[in-house]
């Protein structure tokens, strides 16, 4: 590596997932170039099976960079929240907020395609393998292998957008002992643009309207997830039906995938010439669909600060401070919901029922929760 030529860029973004691409495009829209790097080919994003519930706020940001997947988004007009074997439920309706929808459901692959379509070929180094990173107070030097060649890139700012981190002492981990089994199913009657969040002692079950289908996030303890993954389609539908109840019938389940779930919070967002955004900064439980919405706001806020101040240490510290409320609020909200609802403890069950009833009967409390789901930290007082 010693004799390879050193190339220079202002901003190098490692990870061309939806958060890294959003940051790159938001910077480009403001006239700031950056280089994206990913270890996989762009086509790999097309194999991701997730569907994402995106907030109205997320849609507005993506529209500003011409990356809203117009034809692929299904509006969520109402959200029904309930818990299994208990009283109390609440209904959140977009009509109460003068919005066409509370949010939208898009396939990860359609969002990735909309973002990728706006990339210039030369702005992405795909299938690049990072060999070494040397970070210092003035930036970082990244040694990598790309297209069979060794390269060395010096940047003023290295942005990490690599997604969920593995073992890293800078990241605190709280394992939920739950796995999400996801797939698409056909409902009868149709989905009526209604999302369902149903809490069960095994974990939350979410149904997101996606075209004529429902995208299912079926959360279970790992051993039960093993069993559910092994079922044939009829038995899988029966297990789903047992968790959801009889208000709808499900059929034709698609291919199943699973994701282990943990809360992963990075202690420090900025260190010298490095900054962390998206899932690599915080990975949340998928309940209430906060993860990408939060990562998108990371990318957006970082782009605004960089466009205004350039790569400036004080401005980066300001970025870290500005993200505190949103990320900690999102993590706190999802973590507490999962822990309060994923058990069968009698007194807690009663409190949950009363809480759902109170939300339903008390519009200000319901609006408080709904607005934070729609707008994130922008809605905080
Ligand atoms: C079951 C499930 C359901 C979810 N539902 C929702 C939802 O409804 N709403 C919502 O907002 N969020 C949801 N999420 C969360 C959402 O999927 C993530 O927040 C989002 O995908 C994070 O995007 P990202 O770009 O940070 O990371 P990723 O999507 O993981 O992309 C990271 C990119 O970095 C690349 N990369 C990784 N390591 C390297 C490396 N060493 N060198 C180069 N490149 C690298 C990868 O190849 C990848 O392209 C859900 C998550 C799960 C598991």
* 180 touches 38 (CB < 8 A): no
6-50+110-170+263-330 folds as FAD/NAD(P)-binding domain (3.50.50)
Distance (Å) from CA 248 to ligand 1 centroid: 31
* 370 touches 97 (CB < 8 A): yes
Distance (Å) from CA 276 to ligand 1 centroid: 13
pLDDT mean over 210-231:
97
- Residues 270-292 have pLDDT tens digits of 999 999 999 999 999 998 788 99
pLDDT mean over 68-96:
85
Q: Look at residue 72 and tell me whether its pLDDT is greater than 90.
A: no
> Quick one: which atom of ligand 1 is closest to the CA of 278?
26
Residue nearest to atom 39 of ligand 1 (CA): 162
- Residues 286-317 have pLDDT tens digits of 987 889 999 999 999 999 999 999 999 999 99
Q: How confident is the model at residue 345 (pLDDT cuts 50, 70, 90)?
A: low
Q: How many CA atoms lie within 13 A of 140 on its CB side?
A: 22
- Gap between the Cα atoms of 193 and 77, Å rounded: 6
Q: Look at residue 361 and tell me whether its pLDDT is greater than 70.
A: no
Residue nearest to atom 30 of ligand 1 (CA): 163
The pLDDT assigned to 340 comes to 75
The pLDDT assigned to 381 comes to 45
Quick check: helix, strand or coil at residue 66? coil
pLDDT mean over 321-344:
84
Distance (Å) from CA 48 to ligand 1 centroid: 9
The pLDDT assigned to 34 comes to 98
Q: Look at residue 369 and tell me whether its pLDDT is greater than 80.
A: no
Mean of the per-residue pLDDT values for the chain?
Answer: 90
Pairing of strands 203-210, 74-76: unpaired
pLDDT mean over 38-64:
94
Q: What percent of the chain has pLDDT over 90?
A: 72
The pLDDT assigned to 83 comes to 80
Q: Give Cα separations from 261 to 52, 97, 173, 181, 204 (angstroms).
A: 16, 32, 10, 11, 12
Residue nearest to atom 15 of ligand 1 (CA): 291
Distance (Å) from CA 307 to ligand 1 centroid: 25
pLDDT mean over 173-178:
95
pLDDT mean over 35-48:
96
> Quick one: which atom of ligand 1 is closest to the CA of 293?
11
pLDDT mean over 80-84:
84
Distance (Å) from CA 267 to ligand 1 centroid: 19
The pLDDT assigned to 377 comes to 53
Tokens 């790999």 belong to residue: 44
The residue whose CB lies within 8 Å of the most ligand 1 atoms, and thus the one to mutate among 12, 14, 15, is 15
Distance (Å) from CA 49 to ligand 1 centroid: 11
The pLDDT assigned to 49 comes to 96
Q: How confident is the model at residue 353 (pLDDT cuts 50, 70, 90)?
A: low
- H runs (alpha helix) in the chain: 18-29, 56-64, 108-116, 222-230, 233-244, 291-309, 313-322, 324-341, 346-361, 363-375
The pLDDT assigned to 344 comes to 62
- Residues 116-166 have pLDDT tens digits of 999 999 999 999 999 999 999 889 999 999 999 999 999 999 999 999 998
Pairing of strands 78-83, 194-200: parallel
- Ligand 1 binding pocket (C-beta < 6 A) is 14-20, 37-40, 50, 52-53, 130, 161-163, 180, 182, 217, 259, 278-279, 286, 289-293, 295
Q: For residues 264, 324, 311 and 291, what is the CA-based torsion angle, rounded to 10 degrees?
A: 50
Distance (Å) from CA 15 to ligand 1 centroid: 9
């Amino acid at each position: 590596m010693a004799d390879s030529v050193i190339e220079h860029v202002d901003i190098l973004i490692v990870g061309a997932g939806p958060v890294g691409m959003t940051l790159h495009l938001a910077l480009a829209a403001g006239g700031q170039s950056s280089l994206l790097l990913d270890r996989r080919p762009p086509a790999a994003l097309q194999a991701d099976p997730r569907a994402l519930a995106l907030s109205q706020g997320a849609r507005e940001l993506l529209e500003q960079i011409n990356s809203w997947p117009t034809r692929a988004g299904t509006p969520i007009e109402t959200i029904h929240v309930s818990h299994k074997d208990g009283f109390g439920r609440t209904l959140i309706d977009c009509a109460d907020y003068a919005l066409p929808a509370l949010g939208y459901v898009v396939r990860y692959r359609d969002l990735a395609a909309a973002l990728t379509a706006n990339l210039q070929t030369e702005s992405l180094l795909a299938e690049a393998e990072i060999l070494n990173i040397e970070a210092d107070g003035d930036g970082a030097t990244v040694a990598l292998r790309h297209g069979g060649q060794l390269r060395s890139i010096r940047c003023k700012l290295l942005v990490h957008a690599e997604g969920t981190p593995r073992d890293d002492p800078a990241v605190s981990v709280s394992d939920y002992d739950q796995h999400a089994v996801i797939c698409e199913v056909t409902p009868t009657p149709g989905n009526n643009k209604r999302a369902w969040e149903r809490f069960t002692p095994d974990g939350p079950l979410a149904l997101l309207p996606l075209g004529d289908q429902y995208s299912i996030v079926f959360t279970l303890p790992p051993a039960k997830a093993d069993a559910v993954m092994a079922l044939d389609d009829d038995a899988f539908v029966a297990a789903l039906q047992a968790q959801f109840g009889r208000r709808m019938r499900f059929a034709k389940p698609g291919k199943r995938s699973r994701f282990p779930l943990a809360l992963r919070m990075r202690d420090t967002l900025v260190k010298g010439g490095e900054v962390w955004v998206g899932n690599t900064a915080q990975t949340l439980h998928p309940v209430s669909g906060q993860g990408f919405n939060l990562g998108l706001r990371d990318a957006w806020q970082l782009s605004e600060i960089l466009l205004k101040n350039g790569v400036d240490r004080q401005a980066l510290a300001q970025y870290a401070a500005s993200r505190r409320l949103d990320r900690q609020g999102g993590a706190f909200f999802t973590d507490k919901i999962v822990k309060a609802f994923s058990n069968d403890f009698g007194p807690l069950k009663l409190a949950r029922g009363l809480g759902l009833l109170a939300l339903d009967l008390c519009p200000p409390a319901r609006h408080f929760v709904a607005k934070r789901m729609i707008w994130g930290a922008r809605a905080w007082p």
